Chain A
Amino acid sequence: MKDITEYEKDLSSIRNMMERSVKFISLSGISGVMAGIYALIGATTAYFTIHYPVSPLNYRTYSVNERTILIKLSIIAIIVLTASIGTALWFSQRKAKKHKVSLWNTTSKRLLQSVITPLVTGGLLIIILLANGHYGVAAPASLIFYGLALIQAGQYTYDEIRYLGFCEIVIGLIAAALPGFGLIFWALGFGVLHVIYGSVMHYRYDK
């Protein structure tokens, strides 16, 4: 017969196994902070591309409809996205190594499967609407679909990511209600929120 503390260890090892077999825990807080910083740099660059030297309060005086500006904005967005994903992969790889697990495992595959549908749907919708001249939807739609993807992701990684998802959706909806301030809300959602979320996660799990 085993000692009672052994049974307690049994129970805690079960909890630990269940948690680790379902959740992808190699996401790093720092990569969230970095993604936020890239987004803020991107938003600032975009602001100067569109509005310079007009003040932000004059947003509605003219809208973004020139092809060259649109192409420039798309390039900025793609650079921000690529840099963020690259950084996330790099930091996750490091964290996975530390935990002695592989980056590409059952949990990361499931995580990817859960976010791919909302992200691809949202991405295609935005491209279609942009092609039809509905430039105003880019910011709110990207925030909302990203938020939905994060809420899905909550099943397969840290629970806290859901709160980030809800915040993104709220900001996306406000952005939709206040057309013309898309860039500000975009900077808020993808920039400021990521920095806050990333720092919280870093202090909670990575220290």
Chain B
Amino acid sequence: MKNPFDLLDRVLEHRLRLQIMSVLVANDSYDFNSLKELMNVTDGNLATHIKALEKEKYISVSKSFVDRKPKTKYKVTEKGRTAFKKHIDALELLIKQQGK
């Protein structure tokens, strides 16, 4: 049998990244400042992990100006949604096996 640990997504092992993904999966889109407030993290910390997810093409970025202030919005991509679902399935499997 395949080891469920192998099914885990290395990129999503970090909890903050997982949280970012969960917000984007539950919502059409979310902007940087709302994410920051929701997760109670610093700009730098959030930006680092968003970069990592962007690099994997798990999320897409769109920049616009609202009242001359820059607004950065994030969306989850299809690739990201699939990866997220797989990762959650693996987590569930791990916990279930442990319970036996």
Q: Give A contacts to B, CB under 8 Å.
A: 1-2, 4, 7-11, 13-14, 17-18, 20-22, 100-102, 105-106
Q: Are A105 and B13 in contact (CB under 8 A)?
A: no
Q: Which range contains the number of B residues in contact with the other chain?
A: 20 to 34
Quick check: is B72 within 8 A (CB to CB) of the other chain? no
Main secondary structure of the interface of A (DSSP, over half): helix
Q: Are A13 and B91 in contact (CB under 8 A)?
A: no
- Pick from A8, A9, A18: contact of B26, CB below 8 A: A18
Q: Are B94 and A4 in contact (CB under 8 A)?
A: yes
Chain A residues near B88: list those with CB within 8 A. Answer: 11, 14
- Beyond A4-B95, A9-B15, A106-B27, list 14 extra A-B contacts (CB 8 Å): A4-B98, A10-B15, A11-B91, A13-B19, A14-B22, A14-B88, A17-B23, A18-B22, A18-B23, A18-B25, A21-B27, A101-B38, A105-B37, A106-B30
Q: Are B39 and A17 in contact (CB under 8 A)?
A: yes
Q: How far is the CB of A200 from chain B (nearest CB, A)?
A: 26
**Complex formed: what's the CA distance from A18 to B39 in Å?**
11
Main secondary structure of the interface of B (DSSP, over half): helix
Beta-carbon nearest neighbor of B93 in chain A? A7
Chain B residues near A100: list those with CB within 8 A. Answer: 40
Known A14-B19, A18-B25, A105-B37: A8·B95 in contact at CB below 8 Å:
yes
- Pick from B5, B25, B38: contact of A20, CB below 8 A: B38
Q: How far is the CB of A3 from chain B (nearest CB, A)?
A: 10
Q: Are A101 and B91 in contact (CB under 8 A)?
A: no
Q: Are A17 and B38 in contact (CB under 8 A)?
A: yes
Q: Are A13 and B34 in contact (CB under 8 A)?
A: no
